[in-house]
């Protein structure tokens, strides 16, 4: 941690009313900073930040980052972008615009203010990887014209913009490649695997396995991911990334389904569906860079993280728990 970590800063979090962004706002407020949360509420909700609205250090602004934004801040975390396949494929043109026009506007803002700026990039820049586990020097295997391309290529172009603003104009940039993250405040209907499986298991309806369930993912608990993002932002200027932030414990989606059925004591059956187009077959981060440069690694086990996430959905008024 650098010394100025302890100085109060005014920090912009775009996408701050979303799943990851709202946890990041909590974390920055708890560290004593002022937070300006900018979100167009496409997938985020006021509920995620309701507990912060009366806090004098917190301000919410409804705004779409594809339009210019003139505010005064010391640091920018750029998280605005729908992240679940159902949401980002709902309006793919807007998804690319959010990543690309949004990055240009936030980089322009960072340039005017000489502010540090962190981009929430993604393991999806590796596409359906043929290098395993994925290291940051792997260029990826992405279909440029498929249904996932708006997200993958949008995020890849945002990375390009970040590095060009850095090389050409000397901006202080940080690029985090985030791998699948889960935890409380995931949207119950956003179709992501952890929320889908838990919600279906609690409701006693069939667990939907896409493909034969042999594809793998590596799941990181939200507190660990947020900790990685903050450490990256606080790292010395020369640490630009890209840096993988994820949990290297890899598992098949079939095993995840079994684990969630067991932990919820659910009577749900398993139902097989077609694998969506371009669904990556395997994904696991190599986190040597994060360990070496940030002193970061995940601390929360999948069992502990699932327990907290299951408790969140069990308590959620929109979920009718079976039995």
Site string for ligand NAD, 64-93 (x = CB under 6 A): xxx------------xxxxx---x------
Cα–Cα distance list, 279 to 36, 108, 187 (Å)? 35, 34, 21
CB count within 10 Å of CB 217 equals: 22
Interior angle at CA 23, CA 215 and CA 73, nearest 5: 120
The item of ligand UDP, ligand NAD, none sharing an interface with residue 44, based on CB under 5 to 8 Å by kind, is: ligand NAD
Site for ligand NAD in 4-43 (CB under 6 A): 14-15, 17-21, 39-43
Read off the tokens for 213.
Answer: 């369930």
The item of ligand UDP, ligand NAD, none sharing an interface with residue 18, based on CB under 5 to 8 Å by kind, is: ligand NAD
The item of ligand NAD, ligand UDP, none sharing an interface with residue 193, based on CB under 5 to 8 Å by kind, is: ligand UDP
DSSP conformational letter for 288: H
By CB under 6 A, tell whether 219 contacts ligand NAD.
Answer: no
By CB under 6 A, tell whether 183 contacts ligand NAD.
Answer: no
By CB under 6 A, tell whether 305 contacts ligand NAD.
Answer: no
d(CA 184, CA 32): 23
d(CA 50, CA 262): 33
Site for ligand UDP in 200-229 (CB under 6 A): 208-210, 215, 217
Helix (H, G, I), strand (E, B), or coil: what is residue 62? strand
Read off the tokens for 32.
Answer: 């004593």
d(CA 316, CA 323): 16
Measured in degrees and rounded to the nearest 5, phi and psi for residue 290 equal: -65, -40
CA diameter of the chain: 61
List the 116-122 sheet strands across, edge first: 58-62, 34-39, 10-14, 75-78, 116-122, 173-178, 243-245
Residue 5 is among the residues annotated as catalytic for this protein: no
Cα–Cα distance list, 48 to 90, 147, 169, 257 (Å)? 22, 29, 36, 27
By CB under 6 A, tell whether 149 contacts ligand NAD.
Answer: no
Site for ligand UDP in 16-45 (CB under 6 A): none
Tell me which stretch binds ligand NAD (CB under 6 A): 53-61, 62-70, 203-211, 272-280.
62-70
By CB under 6 A, tell whether 284 contacts ligand UDP.
Answer: no
Q: Name the one residue in this structure whose structure tokens are 């167009």.
A: 40
DSSP conformational letter for 84: S
Q: Which of 5, 147 has the CB closer to ligand UDP?
A: 147
Assess contact for 207 and 200: CB atoms under 8 A: yes
Q: How many residues does the chain have?
A: 323
Q: Which of 77, 151, 165, 221 is catalytic?
A: 151
Q: Which of 194, 209 has the CB closer to ligand NAD?
A: 194
Q: Which of 123, 240 has the CB closer to ligand NAD?
A: 123
Single residue of 243, 253, 260, 310 touching ligand UDP by CB under 6 A: 253
Give the interface with ligand NAD as residue ranges (CB under 6 A). 14-15, 17-21, 39-44, 64-66, 79-83, 87, 98, 102, 120, 122, 178, 180-181
Catalytically annotated residues: 151
Give the interface with ligand UDP as residue ranges (CB under 6 A). 68-70, 84-85, 104-105, 108-109, 111-112, 180, 191-193, 196, 208-210, 215, 217, 253, 275-276, 279
């Amino acid at each position: 941690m650098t010394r100025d970590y302890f100085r109060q800063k005014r920090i912009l979090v775009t996408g701050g009313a979303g799943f990851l962004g709202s946890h990041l706002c909590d974390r920055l407020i708890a560290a004593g900073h002022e937070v300006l949360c900018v979100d167009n509420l496409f997938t985020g909700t006021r509920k995620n930040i309701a507990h912060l609205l009366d806090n004098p250090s917190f301000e919410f602004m409804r705004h779409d980052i594809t339009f210019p934004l003139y505010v005064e801040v010391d640091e920018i975390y750029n998280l605005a972008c729908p992240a679940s396949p159902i949401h980002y494929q709902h309006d793919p043109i807007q998804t690319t615009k959010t990543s690309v026009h949004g990055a240009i506007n936030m980089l322009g803002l960072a340039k005017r203010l000489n502010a540090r700026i962190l981009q929430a990039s993604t393991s999806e820049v590796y596409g359906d990887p043929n290098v395993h586990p994925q290291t940051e020097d792997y260029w990826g295997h992405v279909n440029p014209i498929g249904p996932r391309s708006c997200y993958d290529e949008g995020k890849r172009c945002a990375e390009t913009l970040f590095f060009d603003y850095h090389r050409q104009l000397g901006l202080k940039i940080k690029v985090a490649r985030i791998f699948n993250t889960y935890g409380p405040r995931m949207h119950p209907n956003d179709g992501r695997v952890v929320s889908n499986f838990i919600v279906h298991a609690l409701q006693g309806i069939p667990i939907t396995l896409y493909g034969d369930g042999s594809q793998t993912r590596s799941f990181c608990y939200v507190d660990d991911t947020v900790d990685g993002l903050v450490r990256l932002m606080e790292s010395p200027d020369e640490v630009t990334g890209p840096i993988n932030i994820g949990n290297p414990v890899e598992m098949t989606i079939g095993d995840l389904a079994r684990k969630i059925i067991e932990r919820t004591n659910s009577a749900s059956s398993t139902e097989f569906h077609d694998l969506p187009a371009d669904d990556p077959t395997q994904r696991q981060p190599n986190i040597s860079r994060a360990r070496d440069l940030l002193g970061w690694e995940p601390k929360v086990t999948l069992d502990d993280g699932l327990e907290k996430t299951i408790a969140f959905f069990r308590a959620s008024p929109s979920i009718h728990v079976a039995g």
